[in-house]
Amino acid sequence: MTNTNHTPRLKDTKGLSTFLAPDEPKGWFTSIEAVNATGVLSAEIDDPVSGHVNIRAVNTYEHKLWIESRENADTNPYYLTLVLKAITFQYDHK
């Protein structure tokens, strides 16, 4: 679970993409309840059929700063990256 994987890309203006039930062989997951309980991040299902979820900063300006931090996320992570990592779990379905 790298800091970069927990930081939105430039195109992630609607939020960091994840799924309610990931079908990848390995990755990370969290719950909508855990994200929303942080008070600084918000998770919303944007496609109920696929279970796609967007995770974004509650504050729009903070979300922009979070996106801009991606380049240095592994060496100097933005605090929202660390908040998200603290409530996620890694899985590996081998």
More confident: 26 or 57: 57
Q: What is the pLDDT of residue 93?
A: 67
Q: What is the pLDDT of residue 94?
A: 62
Q: What is the pLDDT of residue 27?
A: 72
In whole numbers, what is the pLDDT of the chain averaged over residues? 91
pLDDT in tens, 37-58: 999 999 999 999 988 999 999 9
Q: Grade residue 25 by pLDDT with cuts at 50, 70 and 90.
A: low
The residue segments making up the domain with residue 9 are 4-92
For the chain, how many structural domains are there in total? 1
Report CA torsion sign: 59, 68, 82, 28: positive
Whole-prediction pTM value?
0.89
